[in-house]
Amino acid sequence: MADITVSMVKELREQTGAGMMDCKTALSETNGDLEAAVDWLRTKGLSKAAKKADRVAAEGLVSIITDGTKGAVVEVNSETDFVARNDQFQNMVSDIAKVALSVDGDFDKLVAADYPGAGKSIQDHVAEMVGTIGENMSVRRSAALSVGQGVVASYLHGQVVEGQGKIGVLVALESSGDSEKLGALGKQIAMHVAATNPLALSTDDLSKDEVDREREVLITEARESGKPEEIIEKMVEGRLRKFYEEVVLLNQVFVIDGENTIEKVLQNAASDIGGEVKLAGFVRFGLGEGIDKGPEEDFASEVAAAVGSS
């Protein structure tokens, strides 16, 4: 029997997109013959991943899992919404979310971790599922929040099944007060985050590049008014404050009451909850956001193109 080296397994995997363990098995079954191993994987339906890997996967599901003082969120993409409603895909996403919680949302650790009961990594299992389900899929990102004392609350918008939907939000609240009331407040703030999509928790957390870019735009706009520089400076500072109210979570007006800023909501909640409440962090994943989906063609155009090529 031929010795199966790491480089042989790596080469086969690069050619086929199949999982590491599947590549090793294929080489063992074919006595190290690379071409025969490719054919072996094809007959098992395990080499489809490579053929589909260049297709855009911008659908799928965002999954959230919480456990008291910690929570995790993952985004797993597929090519179509149809697959996102497949039980097999949903079960896989649920399993991946549970692992994400155990590795504190660390993406590299997540994809390298063992997929429950599969005897292979999550990355390899997803590649195998590409062949099984027939669409390109990928674990796109993961994150987690935790607090020493308090709660990590969540909200899921566009829920497809329990714990999975289109927009997932985690909110971490630190407090020694009533955990049930704290959780209810956390969910409301998570709903607010889902609706407003803030850029940062506080003004200090905003990217300097983001602020500088906004300032330059405001200066250019203000100068078009023809006013003196000292007036322009005051105009820009005022508009920057407005910018902060729009994109900084603590400065935003709470969508539920339409009056108080989130910072004020937290202050007001302290007496009812029984302790000071601090917003320690938030995470918001919107399905497919930032993915270049390429040019869109309508169904009629696709049919016309297909007819023309036949």
Domain with residue 84: its CATH number is 3.30.479.20
Structure tokens at 256: 């539920």
**Are 65 and 184 in the same domain?**
yes
pLDDT bracket for residue 8 (50, 70, 90): confident
Give how many domains the chain has, as a whole number.
Answer: 3
84 and 170 assigned to the same domain: yes
CATH code of the domain containing 228 = 1.10.286
Q: How far is CA 216 from CA 45, 84, 234, 241, 272, in A?
A: 55, 42, 14, 14, 43
Is residue 155 included in any domain, yes or no? yes
Residues 107, 227, single domain; the answer is no
Are 80 and 59 contacting, i.e. CB atoms less than 8 angstroms apart? Answer: yes
22 located within any domain: yes
**Rounded to an integer, what distance in angstroms lies between the CA atom of residue 172 and that of residue 152?**
4
Q: Which residues pair with 144 in a beta bridge?
A: 72
186 shares a domain with 144: yes
Same domain, residue pair 162 and 232: no
| pLDDT single digits (tens) 184-218 | 999 999 999 999 999 999 999 988 888 888 888 88
Domain around 224: 207-247
Reported pTM: 0.74
Is there a single domain that holds both residue 165 and residue 240? no
Q: d(Cα 157, Cα 202) in Å, to the nearest integer? A: 24
Q: Rounded to an integer, what distance in angstroms lies between the CA atom of residue 258 and that of residue 262?
A: 10
Tokens of 104: 């504190």
CB contact at 8 A, 52 and 135: yes
Can you give the pLDDT at residue 306? 44
Per-residue pLDDT at 65 exceeds 70 = yes
In CATH, what number is assigned to the domain containing residue 31?
Answer: 1.10.8.10
Tell me what pLDDT residue 126 has: 93
Whether residue 68 sits in one domain with residue 46: no
127 and 188 inside one domain:
yes
Same domain, yes or no, for 31 and 68?
Answer: no
Same domain membership, residue 82 and residue 35 = no
Residue 292 lies in a domain: no
pLDDT, tens digit (0-9, with 9 covering 90-100), for 24-54? 888 888 888 888 888 787 666 665 554 544 4
Q: Do residues 240 and 214 make contact, with C-beta atoms less than 8 angstroms apart?
A: yes
Tokens of 51: 């053929």
My answer on whether 43 and 166 are in the same domain is no
Whether residue 256 lies inside any domain: the answer is no
Inside any domain, residue 48: yes
Give the span between the Cα atoms of 133 and 287, in whole angstroms. 20
- With 70 as the cut, is the pLDDT of residue 299 above it? no
- Contact between 136 and 59 under an 8 Å Cβ cutoff? The reply is no
